[in-house]
Structure 1
């Protein structure tokens, strides 16, 4: 993964900025340029509440100027350190739409955003920005947790049998990214595949019910063979590979906590609006369960910079 231009989403009403802290850490280790985006909106300044459009424009401009001044003060120590920063303050809603607009304009190597936790109903009602970016952000998305960053271990969650309909190339993309970040940032890389046979209660085929234990054994062997074949194409040490039986939503958070993972890499693909809203990617379902940062990768497009 190239780390030349990082787009950092600033939370306008938060005293803590975990995404900025992580981006600064990355910039210090990669010499990347930081592009900070702050999206501001106030219902009190909505057009429907104003009879005087000129007054509305001045009020919005004053608010954006105020937020810009606050942002300049926030990054002053970073400028003094010598980091290259570019600031952008915009008006509008929903925030994810403005973020996607900025991404389209500059095509950053990475978008960083502080993680917000909401349940499924809140997501459907409020269009949580993290959730929407997982679905639609075309470039790698680094969602940052609050708390002290250790920067020691990363883990790539792989799906060699493509049970989640992910293309085979996405696993290779995750592995290459994990190897690159490990070398560039000094993180220990782990490679994990979670698998689970159908529970006996959901098996309706008479032959499978009769030979259920044999089915479980064959299923496990199939996953192990696919996992080993995938990783065998890369210089990855056996102790860094982990085949875990269990559903990803349960096994991944447990592994993250047990192994003290700081960054979890996952793949996501574009699906229909209704599919994703009601079911979601595994990455979305993991969002509220893991205690570490989450790096979401989408399938590369033909001829992308990563493939060159």
Structure 2
């Protein structure tokens, strides 16, 4: 299990405050081993590559100048967050696709987590995920933590959205991984862990097509299966029953609702699939879930995930 000691933080070029860096430093400071934090930025200006009147060397010199300016700015805005006990590095690269640059750095630096800030909409009180966010959730091989622009509440709650109704090994392994990460992060951040599972509503068309079908018996059986599976998962990892929630409904409704009720500081989601962000839920609902969650989101890939951007892959 990763302890998140080699952290890649994506800089927010539009703001002096860097909540993702603050979160990274907090995680790193709670690590029992020496931690490394790389403050990273990908920049690109089309005009520098299209200035035909300049020589290649002159264009390279201009790019180096822009990179140096950004590095100096990043060191300045990072000063309030730097901890002498943590190895800190600033890195700026010239790349026209930020998510590809980030994933390339994950492979090159063997980073075990990417932390990036998200945009928060003041009126709707919701987090707006950028195209770069979505690409990272789909293609980054390491866990991705998307941070909203606010401090965590005291005695915070962290919830993991597990899919206990599945019999697929990929989902079961991912459930275990999510619970392990939940417990590790809860310990390090002095938070309260919760497991949440949504189970499906009885399909209405079944009762129409099969008059002898008893929807109540079916619903009871489904709920019983999910409760039994949740009990097995929580007992396996030593989690109290009071810290588990099993509710009927669609994941895209249940998970944001429970997160709001718990005032969750972080929601841990599992994502599967090589090229798309497909959830461990029924259907491809993870993107709908993430859009509705107004807190930090940690997305985990299953073991053996192969990024479509993997070098030589």
In the superposition, the TM-score normalised over structure 1's length comes to 0.85
CA distance in 1, matches of 2:212, 2:63: 66
Q: In the alignment, what sits opposite 1:123?
A: none
Q: In the alignment, what sits opposite 1:146?
A: 149
Q: In the alignment, what sits opposite 2:223?
A: 220
Q: In the alignment, what sits opposite 1:300?
A: 303
Contact 2:271 2:278 survives alignment (8 Å) = no
Query: Does structure 1 residue 28 correspond to structure 2 residue 29?
Result: yes
Q: 1:136 aligns with which of 136, 139, 152?
A: 139
Contact 2:20 2:147 survives alignment (8 Å) = yes
Q: Are residues 260 and 127 of structure 1, via their aligned partners in 2, closer, same or farther at CA, if it must alter by over 3 Å?
A: closer
Mind listing any 5+ residue stretches in structure 2 that lack a counterpart? 122-128, 306-313
Mind listing any 5+ residue stretches in structure 1 that lack a counterpart? 119-125, 303-308
Q: In the alignment, what sits opposite 2:52?
A: 50
Alignment of 1:254-265 (within 5 A): 254-265=257-268
Contact 1:159 1:171 survives alignment (8 Å) = yes
Query: Does structure 1 residue 86 correspond to structure 2 residue 89?
Result: yes
Q: Considering only aligned residues, what root-mean-square deviation do their CA atoms show, in Å?
A: 2.8
Q: Deviation string for 1:228-270 (max 9, x for gaps)?
A: 2222212111111111111111111111111111011111112
CA distance in 1, matches of 2:175, 2:278: 22
Contact 1:266 1:294 survives alignment (8 Å) = yes
CA distance in 1, matches of 2:294, 2:98: 24
Larger helix proportion of the pair: 1
CA distance in 2, matches of 1:146, 1:253: 18
Aligned residues: 291
Q: Are residues 265 and 207 of structure 1, via their aligned partners in 2, closer, same or farther at CA, if it must alter by over 3 Å?
A: same
In the superposition, the TM-score normalised over structure 2's length comes to 0.83
CA distance in 2, matches of 1:77, 1:243: 42
Alignment of 1:200-239 (within 5 A): 200=204, 202-203=205-206, 206-207=209-210, 210-239=213-242
CA distance in 1, matches of 2:61, 2:211: 70
Give the Å deviation of 1:41: 1.4
CA distance in 2, matches of 1:60, 1:208: 71
CA distance in 2, matches of 1:63, 1:145: 28
